[in-house]
Structure 1
Amino acid sequence: MHKFPHEYPKPEKKTVTLNKHEDPRKDDYFWLRERENPQVIDYLNKENAYTAEVMKPVQSLEEKLFQELKSRVKEDESSAPVKDGDYYYQGRYEIGQQYPLFTRRKGSLQGAEEILINVPELAKGHSFYQSTGPVVSPNQQLMAFSVDTVGRRFFTIYFKDLKTGKTLPDKIENVRPNVVWANDNETIFYSEQHPETLRSEKIYRYSLKTHKKDLVYYEKDDTFSTYVYKSLSEKYIYIGTQSTLTTEVMYLDANKPYDTFKVFAPREREHEYSVTDGGDKFYIISNKNAKNYKLMTAEIGHTQVKDWKELIPHRADTYLQDVTVFKNYLVLEERKNGLTQIQITDRQGQHSYYIPFADESYLASVGDNREYDTESVRFDYESMRRPPSVYDINMKTHQQELKKTHEVPNYDANLYRTERVFFTVRDGTQVPVSLIMKRDQKLDGTAPMLIYGYGSYGANMDPWFSSDVFSLVDRGFIYAKAHIRGGSEMGRDWYDNGRTLKKKNTFYDFIDCTDALVKAKYADPKRVYAMGGSAGGLLMGAIMNMRPDLYHGIVAQVPFVDVITTMLDESIPLTTSEYDEWGNPNDKTAYDYIKSYSPYDNVKPQAYPNTLVTTGLHDSQVQYWEPAKWVSKLRENNKGDSVILLKTDMESGHGGASGRFDQLKDTATEYAFILMIDGK
């Protein structure tokens, strides 16, 4: 293995002592948060130059990987057309373009194509450009669309008259891309975030007739955020407001946009509920005395909890995630034994059946459905080996029709195999792991392995398809996805046992699954690599402190690593809304527990794995200075000869680059780093 240049950049130390609960913590690099300070920008640029220098030997490999990743992207890709009334809506890419066109055709798929949003044209001259696509008025004659040109998730809403093709003069700046039309085709509702903390806190009504906006709801509690949505029946518009563990919903007749929103059921701590309707009645998913949620109904005008009636009871082994209400059917998204399933029933909860799926490990979800009065529901299906497919199923006859399979050039599913295994971790819990490898892969303890995890916010890391991973799998890697606690893969308990004062289960699960995979000869113990992003980057930071010997290399994308300092700083975006996730460090018990795992606070003199850390200067979720401080502290304490790199995208935010090919460049860098340290 070649020796790395050792002259890495060293930012100046300007020690600050942070004091809480009579516990002084020294932070040498606190000053790196000065975003406008030229010294900070200069330091980040130096780190980028150092990373480029270290990775020079694999420059041609990185380019080769990029071309390989790109070769598995169909250049003129399109989505399955979605029917809405007389129109078929679709997104499609043209060859060579980074961004899509949004289009529609009238009457049939053979109708003349109308371009609604030409994103490649609009993105010209912008280094970052994100458009959320068209939001069309009920009469389909007007369209709203939202655009972010920086990456900090502040959008501008524009309007277009689809009869004339002209963009209207109205524009609404610095808001969320969350837009709903009232049934009068001239009023919209949208949400606005706080300029500093980015908490979505206000709902406005805007009239295209008077060009005036008025505030209809302000969420005062800074642990809650708010958004607006409309039911498929188009009968009601809803305002949802939520914290980690508590929700509240308000509703309004979509035909009467100037009426006042009414509270559906007042918020109660730890009661989470969501509401939609079937025109004549409401359907509520609630966790009241139902950890895995149940389905309730309420009559119009009788929406208090005491008036709700049970339709589908709580089930200890089934986690109810969502319901879509059609005119004559209900479609439920559920999880059982860690796998997704779709149940279809009539509106009375009778005559139910499950859509059958063949693979042992897969991901199925309800797709893009825009029509209320229909017998057909669209669903999406994929696995780590099978590219995403879009199906329509007739809810009456159960007849399925494949509408589209995502085309992946230069890919043959038959060359690979997937597995789903359970490993028993230290407290006796069984944790599922999904794997993909070459079909003829021998499990003899010689293969390199990349293990991926997240484990926060109840978010599921399902066994979805990623065409990128085959650049590693084809080179002999086994790719593993650990479904650790902190997600909801195995139900609500899975989440509750991986947050606040049980957060360490997330880290232990990941370490124990890694150990078990090595013992079961899935991997060579000297060739184990781990990857995670955001809260999954916190996971990477924690496991590196706890078991640095287990991993030869780590990729930490936009990692949340300075947990205490960030959670004590209420001016930083997303802090106050996350106390139920991490704990509130203003409370001493929570403070002590967070301090015992916070990656930045637990860096100590020991041999650390080879590490690549990525961040974006405009990141609104995890501020760039967390990774920057952490890298400097890791290097100072590193007792081994591993290399620790920081790469900052000076032009993007939390999601990385905005163009589809630019995103692949980030992946090519990460894979080239892994292959470089694997010595191949």
Structure 2
Amino acid sequence: MSSDVTAPVAKKVRSERIHHGDTFVDEYEWLRDKDDPEVITYLEQQNEFTEAHTAQLGDLRKQIFGEIKSRTQETDMSVPSRRGRYWYYARTEEGKQYAIRCRCPIADADDWTPPEIAADTGLPGEEVLLDANVEADGHDFFSLGALTVSDDGDWLAYSTDVVGDERYTLRFKNLRTGDLLADEITGTAGGAVWSADAKHVFYQTVDDAWRPDTVWRHDIGAEADDVRVFHEPDEKYWVGMGSTRSDKYLMIGVGSKITSEVYVLAADDPTGEFVSIAPRVEGVEYSAEHAVIDGDDYFVIVHNDVRDGSKADNFAIDLAPVGDPADRRELFAHDADRRIEDLDAFEDYLVLSYRRAALPKLAIADLRQIDGIPTPADFHEVTFDQELSSAGLGGNPEWATPRLRIGYTSFIEPTEVLDLDVATGERTLLKRQPVLGGYDPADYVQSREWATAADGTRIPLSIVRRKGVDDARPAPLLLYGYGSYEASIDPSFSVSRLSMLDRGVVFVLAHIRGGGEMGRHWYDNGKTLTKKNTFTDFVDAARHLVDTGWTTPKQMVAEGGSAGGLLMGAVANLAPELFNGILASVPFVDALTSILDPSLPLTVIEWDEWGDPLHDPDVYTYMKSYSPYENVEARAYPPILALTSLNDTRVLFTEAAKWVARLQEVNTSDNLVLLKTEMSAGHGGVSGRYKQWEEVAFELAWILQQTGAYVPPTA
């Protein structure tokens, strides 16, 4: 390790933040201005410091990158999905960073069996829709937003971001001729939706706070000004645009964290007016899909409205005639043990997505076997052998399909793509994610344990390890958490994780409150004025792992990103003694400063998640008591690695930069606090799979060092 390179010392410039009679002195607020050359110099110096003090991991990083690469089938092809007259799929080629989007014509309209996957050869009649490698050429960063083909298959709308700020340029391609139209729209949000006649495209733009707030209609080749068809002035609401799977309706969704509204328009009337299915009611969330049941058109409405005097916290489902959406009848009642997430409609099926006991589930009703309106008894669960697994609908763009595409995975089983024949129950395995090098799931173990929080709440833990690690306990261990926005972290396979497991590290997911694994109450008890439960749950999970002999504080590293980075910052202040490393990616660690400023991206929308400290002194006091940056003080911190991106619009680089500056100033231990800033990336980090593998290798090498699973050679 290089001991002669010292951390850059950020200058101090007194800045006062005054709210509700409280004055907070912030000496590093000047780091907010990324146009200031001094700020850029400081970030570059921190990068140099981090590189110098992780140089001893260079060989290990190369090894891990090589392992990821050697286990990955670099030239590969996704399973084709049928849409209209074509099969659509993506290819990757060895040596290329990005996917190539393709299609080939359907030879037999009655044949629903996808073409046999040919990883290294083209399919008959293959047509390249978009080669992202060509689009990305000459750019340090590339992200694809929209990639949407018109219903007739003749037009492509696609959008790209080459900066990382999630503002896209929308373009149009004539797929009959291969020509790009002169039409080009800058500054859009990521998506695009075609009208049924392929003459119009609907897209969104964002306001100054990066909130999608307006839907526009672009008339292809008309050389006329685009028409604003919808605008949401309330800063708490985010606007989305889509269409029903039946292609019969266009839909605009408007939602805050706790309230939503859906507007609908017949797809064959693209110049008409969108109308609301049900007016917004504060605290009521709903979504809608189109279904045809017993010959009649319905909107399937998933909602959490009040029913029989009680709110459907875990959501219920109603059916409403399209002609009179207010005339609703209940399909699924609220169930405290089942969190309903969605109901997808096909010509012949209804598919319920839900979760129970912290795991995602699927249940299907075959409308061909039902007379009249279905009941809950008509839905049959799709089951798998592994208890800790994830199953969900895959790519099913067609409304009238005799088979359902399903995705399945677990912590130890590579992702599988299956076709399910609903009538017979027969499952056809179309593809299993290839893992090269002789990977065998039997060499690994996944299990569920429960930690107990201080208030008696049981916290589910998912534990993944290589067989034999039990014999070497206590073991090196990585504890991962998120715990916000009702986001659930479900079982999934990771090639890169194998490099950690094979070196004896145990991987543990803490399904803490603030997430959605255990239902809506799990989220409600980890947000706003109960947010601290998220942090204490994670600490209690760590203590459980120590107390039960899984690991020791000297062998445990904590990791989280974005809102999970807030978790990491809070845990560093709450229980620094429990960890020998904390990895925080794009960390939301200056939360109070950000949520106090409505001019910053997403702030007003976030008030339903964190509370409104600008107008509510109780929220201000509560947030100040846990916001990581405010609570950094002279104490012995563990080694910390913070990762951020200069062009991130969701969590500004400023937060990590200020946090690290303060930590480096007051830390009383000899442990290093490191900051790495990607200078050409956004919230998701670097783009391109090889660059991403390099970044993963950087992170894993640091984790392996801090858990003691890897000891760098001495100089």
* TM-score using structure 1 length: 0.98
Contact 1:285–1:296 (8 Å) recurs in 2: yes
2:217 is the counterpart of 1:200:
no
Runs of 4+ in 1 over 4 A off after TM superposition: 2-6
Check 1:329–1:438 CA distance in 2 against 1; reply closer, same or farther (3 A cut): same
**In the aligned structure 1, how far is the partner of 2:589 from the partner of 2:279?**
36
Matches within 5 A, 1:164-563: 164-194=177-207, 196-212=208-224, 213-279=226-292, 280-288=297-305, 289-304=311-326, 307-347=327-367, 348-350=373-375, 351-410=378-437, 411-442=439-470, 445-563=473-591
Aligned residues of 2:98 and 2:132 also touching (Cα < 8 A)? yes
**SS at 1:601 equivalent:** coil
Contact 2:301–2:318 under 8 Å retained in 1: yes
For residues 304-330 of structure 1, the C-alpha deviation after alignment (integer angstroms, 9 at most, x for no partner) is: 3xx211011111211110111011210
Deviations 1:646-680 (A, max 9, x none): 00000001101110110111111112222333361
C-alpha distance in structure 1 between counterparts of 2:387 and 2:270, whole Å: 47
SS of 2:543's partner is: helix
| Alpha-carbon distance between aligned partners in 1 of 2:147 and 2:382, rounded to the nearest angstrom | 31
**Structure 1 residue 367: Cα displacement:** 1.0
Q: 1:143 aligns with which of 148, 156, 177?
A: 156
| Cα 1:6/1:101, change in 2 over 3 Å | closer
Letter in 2 for 1:292: N
Partner residue, 2:94:
95
Please give the per-residue CA displacement for 1:622-644, whole angstroms capped at 9, x wherever unaligned: 00011000001111121111010
Question: Displacement of 1:6 after TM fit?
Answer: 6.2
- For residue 228 of structure 1, give the secondary structure of its aligned residue in structure 2: strand
Task: State how far apart, in whole Å, the 1-side matches of 2:430 and 2:163 are.
Answer: 36
Q: Give SS of 2:571's match.
A: helix
Instruction: State the TM-score, normalized to the length of structure 2.
Output: 0.93
In the alignment, is the contact (CA less than 8 A) between 2:2 and 2:53 conserved in 1?
A: no
Once the two structures are superposed, what CA deviation does each residue of 1:455-502 show, in whole Å capped at 9, x if it has no partner? 000011112111111111111100011111111101110100110000
Asked if the contact 1:445–1:525 (Cα under 8 Å) also holds between the matched residues in 2, the reply is no
Q: Deviations over 1:418-455 (max 9, x none)?
A: 11111221111111111111112125533110011100
Instruction: Give the aligned partner of residue 598 of structure 1.
Output: 627
5 Å-filtered alignment, 1:3-18, equals 4-5=3-4, 7-18=6-17
Task: Letter of the 2:650 partner, please give it.
Answer: Q
Q: Is the 8 A contact 2:171 2:185 kept in 1?
A: yes
- The one of 157, 171, 180 equivalent to 1:158 is 171
Corresponding position of 1:36: 35
The CA distance in 2 between the partners of 1:318 and 1:543, in whole Å, is: 31
Distance in 2 separating the partners of 1:376 and 1:581: 39
Letter in 2 for 1:461: I
The answer on whether the counterparts of 1:76 and 1:92 sit within 8 Å (CA) in structure 2 is yes
Mapped partners of 1:549, 1:599: distance in 2: 16
User: Between Structure 1 and Structure 2, how many residues are aligned?
Assistant: 676
In structure 2, C-alpha distance between the alignment counterparts of 1:294 and 1:184, rounded to whole Å: 35
Q: Deviations over 1:97-122 (max 9, x none)?
A: 10010000102435311101011112
Q: Does 1:640 align with 2:669?
A: yes
Match of 2:593 in 1: 565
Question: 1:73 Cα shift?
Answer: 2.0
Q: Which residue identity does 1:19 align to in structure 2?
A: I
Distance (Å, rounded) in 1 between the aligned partners of 2:69 and 2:517? 31
SS at match of 1:8: coil
User: Any conservation in 1 of the 2:145–2:168 contact (CA below 8 Å)?
Assistant: no
Write the distance in 1 (CA, Å) between the matches of 2:216 and 2:132: 27
CA distance in 2, matches of 1:7, 1:95: 40
Contact 2:338 2:356 survives alignment (8 Å): yes
In structure 1, how many angstroms separate the alpha carbons of the residues matched to 2:299 and 2:451?
A: 42
> What secondary structure, in the 3-state scheme, does the structure 2 residue paired with 1:183 have?
coil
Of 407-416 and 87-96, deviating more is: 407-416
Q: How far has the Cα of 1:133 moved from its partner? A: 5.9
| CA root-mean-square deviation | 1.3
Deviation at 1:13, TM superposition (A): 0.5
In the alignment, the residues of structure 2 paired with residue 235 and residue 247 of structure 1 have an alpha-carbon distance, to the nearest angstrom, of 22
Give per-residue Cα distances to partners, 1:363-399, cap 9 Å, x unaligned. 1111110111122111111011011111111122211
Name the CA distance, whole Å, in 1 between partners of 2:650 and 2:145: 19
Which AA in structure 2 matches 1:16?
A: S
Native 8 Å contact 2:560 2:584 kept in 1: yes
Where do 5+ consecutive residues of structure 2 fail to align?
A: 108-114, 116-122, 306-310, 368-372
Quote the offset at 1:4 in angstroms: 4.3
Secondary structure class of the residue paired with 1:442: helix
- Within a 5 Å distance, the mapping from 1:78-117 to structure 2 comes to 78-108=77-107, 109=115, 110-117=123-130
Residues 510, 470 of structure 1: alpha-carbon distance in 2 compared, 3 angstrom cutoff: same
**Equivalent residue, structure 1, for 2:112:** none
In the alignment, is the contact (CA less than 8 A) between 1:72 and 1:408 conserved in 2? yes
Please give the alpha-carbon distance, in whole angstroms, between the structure 1 residues aligned to 2:187 and 2:431.
Answer: 36
The percent of aligned pairs where both chains have the same amino acid is 39
By how many angstroms is 1:518 displaced? 1.4
Amino acid at match of 1:623: L
Contiguous gaps of at least 5 residues in structure 1 = none
- The answer to whether the 8 A contact 2:149-2:157 is kept is yes
State whether residues 312 and 349 of structure 1, in contact with CA within 8 Å, keep that contact through their aligned partners in structure 2: no
**CA-to-partner distance for each residue in 1:206-260, whole Å, 9 max, x for gaps?**
1004133110111010010101110001110010000000001100000000111
Q: Distance in 2 between matches of 1:506 and 1:342?
A: 28
2:155/2:174 contact within 8 Å kept: yes
Counterparts of 2:223 and 2:638, CA distance in 1: 57
Letter in 2 for 1:260: E
The alpha-carbon deviation at position 57 of structure 1 amounts to 1.6
Paired with 1:98 and 1:395, the residues of 2 have a C-alpha distance of 38
Q: What one-letter code is carried by the residue in structure 2 that aligns with 1:667? A: V
Answer whether contact 1:443 1:522 (CA < 8 A) is retained.
no
